Amino acid sequence: MMSLATPQSILERFRRVARNHGIPDPQRHLDATGEIEWLRACLNGRVYRAAENWMLPNWALRDSRRSSKVPSECDSLDNDQRRNWTTIGGVGSRGYAISDSKGLLTVNPECGSIEFWLLAPTGIIFPSTIADEGPRLTLLSPEDQVYEWRMDLGPLEYSRLVYHSSEGGSEAIYNEVQVRNRSLERAKFTFYAVIRPISVNGVEPIETAEFSAPKRAVYTNGILAMIMNRDPKFVYVTTANNKNLPSTIADLAPRSDSAINAPDGLATVVLRFDIILKPAGTERFFFVSPLVPLTKKDPLPALPMDQRARDSTVQTWFEFMGSTLSGEFPDRNLSQLLSQSKALLAMQVRSSVLPQQMRIPDSSWNDKAHLLSALCRGNCLSLAREVSLDLVRGIQADTLTDVSAAAPAVWTILHVFEHLQDMSYLRTVRPVLDELLPAISEKARSYLSSAPIEVPKEEQQVVQQKEGVTEWTGQQPNEEESTPRVPIAHANEISASYLGPRLPSEDRTPQFRRLTDFAVASWVVEALRSAANAYDRLGQTEDAKSLAALVAECTAAVQKSSKDFTEMASRRDTKNVLPDDEVLDGIILLGTLALLRSKSIDTGMLECVQQEIAQKWTTILRMVKLPGVTREHSVHLTLLMAHYYAFN
């Protein structure tokens, strides 16, 4: 999902709407994202507890907390259970939509969500209120990524198809409504396309809504929410808490509203379509929501409003699936799971790796590496090359001053090359390598020139048992630990242009105090290893040899330091090698080594970390469970551990 607004402007909207609902400001400091989620939970509690069933998203309808009053800073309600969401996008698309199983579709949160209601003889059918055994949004095939919500009403067959399509640089999510008359008589049918101020997360405030008849377009919060290929019969603009809405829209009385201002953030637009079908006839309607936000000043996107859009996306997905990694398992569900995993990766990778404004945050390079590596290992090489080059174009050396970001960046860029084996790609990325490698090499040299790890005084105390009495004594480092490390002799011969200046002896400090230090060291070693191979391919033999020598020395130093670290930790507490505040760091370290397929860390240390996590922080179902960590984050951490087990 993409947004035109900044987090701060979205926060201001939530604050305005919350105040109009009598919700106080939070009593603790939160960042913009945290405060938005806090205010949303408060709005959910305030709005949904007073709502009728048809007004609610499916998860809120099922949530028993809605009928209870739980004392809290605000009477909050959030979706922490029904997260059976579907991602809808294209191969390498710039964004994607989210839908729940009932078809509540969010393309751009600023525009709320899109839903379709049906008029039956018994009244209006609201998909969110239908039982689980009823119609659901279903993927027709992992090979084409078209979803369908289908229902039969007497002789009529109603089908809503949801998919991504693009044309001329414009991308959009399509809702294609098909109504087929299976009888040999004329038939009437009515359905509603609805823009609602809700999503799978809860309330999505809509303060303004407008229908433009000349454009056949709906704008919410000043953003284009939807365009359509046919004129609606009637237009109703109201608020989501209007209890008379079902009876009003079922009435045949003509009504054409155009706009509404809703300080409570609950603006709603209902478009009614009445159709008469010929015997055995079929009618199609197309509702298109651009993925890239557009305002009223922007021209409408030049997108096909017919079946060509679906044909195009099906062809694109079939070509992608045919050119990438495939597998057949005895269980057909596993084969489909592999295909769907590739599809989800392909449709989310660009928006995850490349933020909307192409600003590369240093802290996310670890995740970028995982995503691009998954693309490469899934043989999605064309997409990996495209995304990687976009990353390189967005890199500025001054934004990657921290080696903990620069080293993963270099490794990621060169990891793509190792799979592509495309020299034109390597020559394109070389200027970035030349900019980032000196700092990485300097960091590697610091591992060689640092003093040995000394046990702090507070950690030198060990327990000695004498005749049943516990006695605390100080233990001094042994002779080997007291001897300063001497850099390997030929380190002086390595090219200074890549290694940077030698650190003065008085500036040498221990480099490994926490597990995160070892994760950074692993990135440094493997980035330099990849760089040595790359320079060799470019014909820079001497530079390649120098880097290879540095890698060998650095690996030995990191191995030695990891052994020292384990010994130091065991002295601190023989039953707790891994401190509680470093458990998360330990999992990330194991996941990093599995990704890099690196042997730079002592196996004894890794075994201690792995065993302690498994014994203390893993459930009976092998799920990692840490205090204060959400279920989604726990799944992510569990997958990191699984990756390490597979690697090891």
pLDDT tens track for 304-348: 999 999 999 999 999 999 888 777 778 888 888 888 999 999 999
SS3 221: coil
- Say how many domains are in the chain: 2
Contacts of 72 (CB under 8 A, 6+ apart): none
- Residue 287, SS3? strand
Strand partners, 224: 219
Residue 134 lies in a domain: no
Least confident of 81-85, 217-221, 294-298, 606-610: 81-85
Strand pairing partners for 413?
A: none
Are the C-beta atoms of residues 256 and 333 closer than 8 Å to each other? no
Joined tokens for residue 151: 């229902």
**Region for 467 from its dihedrals, namely left if φ exceeds 0, alpha if ψ lies in -120 to 50, beta otherwise:** left
The size of the chain, in residues, is 648
Residue range 462-484: average pLDDT?
36
- Residue of 402, 494, 398 lying closest to 445 (CA atoms): 494
Q: Which residues pair with 366 in a beta bridge?
A: none
pLDDT at 498: 40
CA 444/CA 547 separation, integer angstroms: 10
What distance lies between CA 225 and its chain's CA centroid?
Answer: 23
Q: How far apart are CA 428 and CA 407, in angstroms?
A: 18
Residue after which a domain boundary falls, among 25, 42, 67: 67
Residues 6+ apart with CB under 8 A from 622: 638
pLDDT per residue as tens digits for the range 233-249:
999 999 999 999 999 99
| CA dist., res. 162 & res. 365, Å (int) | 33
Give backbone dihedrals phi and psi of 188, rounded to 5 degrees, phi first. Answer: -110, 150
Residue 323 forms part of a structural domain:
no
Nearest to 32 by CA among 63, 5, 72, 1: 5
Strand-strand pairing, 105-106 and 97-99? antiparallel
For residues 418 and 530, give the distance between their C-alpha atoms in angstroms, rounded to a whole number. 8
**In the predicted model, what is the mean pLDDT of residues 94-119?**
94
| pTM given for the model | 0.83
Phi-psi label, residue 123: left if phi above 0, alpha if psi -120 to 50, beta otherwise? left
Cα–Cα distance between 259 and 269 in angstroms, integer?
9
Whether residue 40 lies inside any domain: the answer is yes
User: Which is more confidently placed, 378 or 114?
Assistant: 114
Around Cβ 466, how many Cβ atoms within 10 Å? 8
Name the percent of the chain lying above pLDDT 90. 55
Contact 226, 193 (CB under 8 A): yes
Tell me: pLDDT of 485 over 90: no
Is residue 161 one of the residues assigned to a domain?
no
What are 280-292's pLDDT values in tens digits?
Answer: 999 999 999 999 8
For residue range 506-537, what is the model confidence (pLDDT) as tens digits?
333 457 878 889 999 999 999 999 999 999 99
pLDDT of residue 78: 78
What is the structure's pLDDT at 67? 56
Region of 465 on the Ramachandran plot (φ > 0 left; ψ -120 to 50 alpha; else beta): beta
pLDDT grade for 221, boundaries at 50, 70 and 90: very high
Q: Under a CB-based contact definition with an 8 Å cutoff, are residues 148 and 115 in contact?
A: no
What DSSP element (H or E) covers 237? strand 234-239
Residue with tokens 């191969």: 91
Question: How far, rounded to the nearest angstrom, does the alpha carbon of residue 456 sit from its chain's CA centroid?
Answer: 41
8 Å CB contact between 568 and 455? yes
The answer to whether residue 512 is domain-embedded is yes
For residue 150, what is the enclosing H or E element?
Answer: strand 147-153
Per the CB < 8 A criterion, the answer to whether 167 and 313 are in contact is: no
The mean pLDDT of 145-164, rounded to a whole number, is 96
Q: Report the C-alpha gap between 14 and 27 in whole angstroms.
A: 16
Distance CA 170, CA 300 (A): 10
In this prediction, residue 577 has a pLDDT band, given cuts at 50, 70 and 90, of low
Residue 331 domain-assigned?
no
In a domain, 286, yes or no: no
What the block records as the tokens of 425 is 């790609």
Q: Is residue 551 a part of any domain in this protein?
A: yes
Nearest to 559 by CA among 448, 642, 480, 394: 448
Average pLDDT over residues 566-587: 70
Which domain covers residue 34, as residue numbers?
Answer: 7-67
Q: Name the 3-class secondary structure at 322.
A: helix
Residue identified by tokens 């890199």 is: 395
pLDDT band at 496 (very low <50, low <70, confident <90, very high): very low
Out of 50, 67, 84, a domain closes at 67
